[in-house]
Structure 1
Amino acid sequence: MVIRIGIVGVGKIARDQHIPVLDASPDFDLVTAASRHGRIEHGVTHTTIEEMLAAEDIDAVSLCQPPQVRFEAARVAIAAGKHVFLEKPPGATLTEVELLRDQAREKGVTLFASWHSRYAAGVETARAWLADKSLHSVHIEWKEDVRHWHPGQAWIWEAGGMGVFDPGINALSIATAILPGFFLTEGLLEIPANRASPIAADLHFTDAAGTPIRAEFDWRQTGPQTWDIKVETDAGTLLLSKGGSELRIDGVEQTLPPEAEYRGLYDRFAALIAAGESDVDVAPLRHVADAYLRAERRQVEAFED
């Protein structure tokens, strides 16, 4: 059965990733949307999710709006008996995501907290290679230019917008998929004088074996962008680069499947719906919450877009 789906929030991520994948998917039929500003080319675009649900015969919704407003949209969709796909991060707080999980279970619908970077081409191969290795150290560098990737997007600097953790949580989603459980021991958040969320973070973690794990996130990097995870082990060095799309082991490039992050997400969503299951992993978001709890805060110069 083809799943009739509507998108809520027709912004950059919806246009760049969700819509092309849904248009090509054998499992989904994108028939409608709800958005205050954007529009889809086929089907009616409504102003609100309430209007969309009242007017359209759909099975599922994909929520692509900022995390601060996602809870209410998800609550309404689940109450209407719709399966729900949550863009990352799944919410602005851990508790709201857990409430949605419970609501979806009670309603008998699928809730999927998606982490697209886990579907990068090199991630599963990296996880499998590391599974029987002893870790010596891990160094994560996720540094990019916010002006290039998020021009004029004020919401990312507001409370709940996550600041540099908006991309940084992608690194954490990969780390939580390929490494044993780890926890924060100390950190530093650099917050611009005119913003509510950090522009950079330097985080130190460890695991049960005492492995040093460091994550450096920065939104001020110009020129070449850095999305690397380096793992030193008893059997050599693993390097995931370019956001997980390239993998080297002891400097040797590994053969990987083509990039298909969002295709992988929607394949997973369809499989969950068919099985009557949900997937609501909040581990990456929990690490962000821990950083706000335990890391030191330092005010830095104001940031102007």
Structure 2
Amino acid sequence: MTIPIALVGVGKIARDQHLPTIAASPHFHLAGVVSRHADDLDVPAAATIAALKEQVPDLAAVSLCTPPMGRAALIGEALHLGLHVMVEKPPAATISEAERFAGMARAAGQGLYLTWHSRAASGVEPLRQWLSGKAIRRIAIEWMEDVRVWHPGQEWIWEPGIGVFDPGINALSILTHLLASPAEVREAVLRYPADRAAPIAATLALASDAAAEIAVDFSFDQRGPQTWTIAVETDAGHAMLRDGGGRLFVDDAEVAVPEGTEYGRLYARFAEVVAQGAIDADLAPFRLVADAHLIGRRETVAPFRWND
């Protein structure tokens, strides 16, 4: 028997990733949506989680695909109704808000999963295993994509604290999963369009007991081919993740990685969370983003235009 789940928010990420993944999932079936923009879906729809629960009494879980602002209220509503909760990244608008979620779930006795989808890319776990026992000398991250392609016309992406860190936090989620010790931000330069409240590019210098030098370059204005790479130099060879972690190269030779999709693995993990009533709520990537804003030097660049 599959778990009845509802999507809260049916925007681009829900349609591109969550809906097809749930449709193919052996663990879940879509029992409804909380959205005003899902008339094309053949499931119950409501304006609130509580209203949907009335329509679908056996609803057991929700997956939040809304923008990060206001997540505490949605999570609180779902937990109060006895639902397990899965959350799209980033988990909230602020660290203080996100830090409440685990305690809320624990008090309610429900499962909570704050997801980092790039950690579930096919090459990430094989690279983590390859790094075991090796001394990391340097890590170089280049994570560059075009906001016009991935968030067309979505003005919420330019809310303070988001911008280029919407994709950039994906790279940081992989980094914090690979490292055996926590990372910290030593320097940061954040480049803000003159007419926007969030950066369109960032350069970071990080360090960790597990890697003395970590260089990070983010852009949200990449034209043409998109770049998502993490290169690692060790005392026993080098490796690179490409295509957002989907492909792994060791000493310049591509190696086989497990089949499957990022979101397929996320929903498989959420099924475990539901079965165990577990809490999986790592905030390490989010803390690095917050630290980058705290110590980052601001530079102003040309205004942003959607149609440039």
Bin of the TM-score, shorter chain as denominator length: over 0.9
- What's the Cα RMSD here? 1.2
Specify the alignment match of 2:70 in structure 1. 69
- The question of 1:274 aligning with 2:283 is answered no
Q: In the alignment, residue 107 of structure 2 is paired with which amino acid?
A: E
Q: In the alignment, residue 237 of structure 1 is paired with which amino acid?
A: H
Specify the alignment match of 1:91 in structure 2. 92
Percent identity over the alignment is 49
- The question of 1:53 aligning with 2:49 is answered no
- The question of 1:251 aligning with 2:255 is answered no
Specify the alignment match of 1:198 in structure 2. 199
Distance 1:276 1:73 in 2: 19
Distance 2:281 2:79 in 1: 14
Which 10-residue stretch deviates more, 272-281 or 205-214?
205-214
Q: Secondary structure at the match of 2:216?
A: strand
Specify the alignment match of 1:176 in structure 2. 176
Stretches of structure 2 that go unaligned for 5 or more consecutive residues are none
Specify the alignment match of 1:111 in structure 2. 112
Shift, 1:256, TM fit: 1.1
Distance 1:210 1:87 in 2: 28
TM-score, length basis structure 2:
0.96
Distance 1:76 1:159 in 2: 25
Which 10-residue stretch deviates more, 198-207 or 252-261?
252-261
Which 10-residue stretch deviates more, 63-72 or 162-171?
63-72
Are the counterparts in 2 of residues 231 and 237 from structure 1 also a CA contact under 8 Å?
Answer: yes
Specify the alignment match of 2:149 in structure 1. 148
Distance 1:81 1:104 in 2: 10
Deviations 1:151-183 (A, max 9, x none): 1000000125x1000000000010011123211
Distance 1:203 1:131 in 2: 25
Q: In the alignment, residue 173 of structure 1 is paired with which amino acid?
A: S
Distance 1:217 1:45 in 2: 38
Aligned residues: 304
Q: Secondary structure at the match of 1:211?
A: strand
Specify the alignment match of 2:132 in structure 1. 131
Distance 1:250 1:173 in 2: 23
Shift, 1:54, TM fit: 3.1
Which 10-residue stretch deviates more, 52-61 or 164-173?
52-61
Deviations 1:220-243 (A, max 9, x none): 110111000000000011100100
Deviations 1:44-80 (A, max 9, x none): 1112333213332201011001001322111111111
Distance 2:260 2:195 in 1: 38
Specify the alignment match of 1:262 in structure 2. 263
Distance 2:40 2:61 in 1: 16
TM-score, length basis structure 1:
0.97
Are the counterparts in 2 of residues 239 and 249 from structure 1 also a CA contact under 8 Å?
Answer: yes
Shift, 1:208, TM fit: 2.2
Specify the alignment match of 2:44 in structure 1. 44
Shift, 1:104, TM fit: 0.5
Distance 2:222 2:175 in 1: 22
Q: In the alignment, residue 302 of structure 1 is paired with which amino acid?
A: P
Q: In the alignment, residue 28 of structure 1 is paired with which amino acid?
A: F
Q: In the alignment, residue 234 of structure 2 is paired with which amino acid?
A: T
Specify the alignment match of 1:242 in structure 2. 243
Query: For the structure 1 residues 259 and 25, does the alpha-carbon distance in structure 2 shift closer, same or farther, using more than 3 Å as the test?
Result: closer
Deviations 1:14-62 (A, max 9, x none): 1111111111212112110011223452211112333213332201011
Stretches of structure 1 that go unaligned for 5 or more consecutive residues are none
Shift, 1:209, TM fit: 5.6
Specify the alignment match of 1:19 in structure 2. 19
Distance 1:226 1:151 in 2: 18
Distance 1:50 1:277 in 2: 23
Specify the alignment match of 1:225 in structure 2. 226
Specify the alignment match of 1:157 in structure 2. 158
Specify the alignment match of 1:6 in structure 2. 6
Q: In the alignment, residue 156 of structure 1 is paired with which amino acid?
A: I
Deviations 1:257-294 (A, max 9, x none): 22411010000000111122110001111100010111
